[in-house]
Amino acid sequence: MTLFAEVRHVASAKAPLVLLHGFGGIGALWAPVVSRLGPDIPLVVYDLPGHGQSLGAEGIGHAGVMAKVVLADLDRRGVSSFHLCGHSMGGAIASLIALRAADRVRSLTLLAPGGFGPEIHHEALRRYGLAVETSDLALALAALLAPGSMSGVTSLDRLADARRLPGATDRLMEILNSFLVETDGLTGQGTLPLSAFEALGVPTRLLWGTKDPILPVTQAKAIWPGADVMLIEGVGHMLMDGAPDAVASALSSAMAAD
């Protein structure tokens, strides 16, 4: 089974924007950002392996495995160059795609990306990955937001439908366990080879919420020199819903600079 993606205007002469969601998500969670982008922007919005309509796709595993599968799918679609944006786990995947194929990546936009430090609230992610019904998903998502925030995450019904598919939560637990590591009795996440990225020369933007309860905003300090950094006050981990205007603006700027 190949990867599922919602596509728009990919036959355009413009390089498309490729969007990669985070752990447990689906491509539909990008809706608040997509609605703020120009209607003529070509898009490839993935359900990543083991998620949503890509539940049975190849490449279920850690970020490096998924990066290879996404690149192969872009090849299959005839996409030679592209702008790239990833959130959380999708940010780690996007970073590894840039590391593997820097000559094809016109810009890289990272939203609270995984792999920038070992700290991670894995218990909250596990609860989120195991939630199936809409009410349980809303409760689990609340733990990903800034303290005291109300869940405004869109597409909850579509996310619940994806979680009801046979084997869906099993695949998510497999993926979560693939990027968690044990060090001195503590559970954390694997980290990216960040020292290698500056030499790539890929224009990079990093956005992070200052109240992120999943990946601490202090990890933003690990970004390589030359990247633009925006810390968004009062926002938690779900930047697509917590700060869609800022995300859309960053993406529009990245594509306009091409």
pLDDT band for position 216 (cuts 50, 70, 90): very high
Q: What is the rounded distance in angstroms from the CA atom of residue 97 to the CA atom of residue 93?
A: 6
Q: In this predicted structure, what is the pLDDT of residue 152?
A: 67
Exposure letters 3-19 (e unless 16+ CB within 10 A, then b): bbbbebebeeebbbbbb
For the stretch 143-162, pLDDT in tens is 999 988 776 677 899 999 99
Q: In this predicted structure, what is the pLDDT of residue 13?
A: 80
Is pLDDT at 237 greater than 80 in this prediction? yes
pTM of structure: 0.97
Average pLDDT over the chain, rounded to whole?
95
Tallying the residues shown for the chain, one arrives at 258
- Let me know: does 11 contact 43? Beta carbons within 8 Å: no
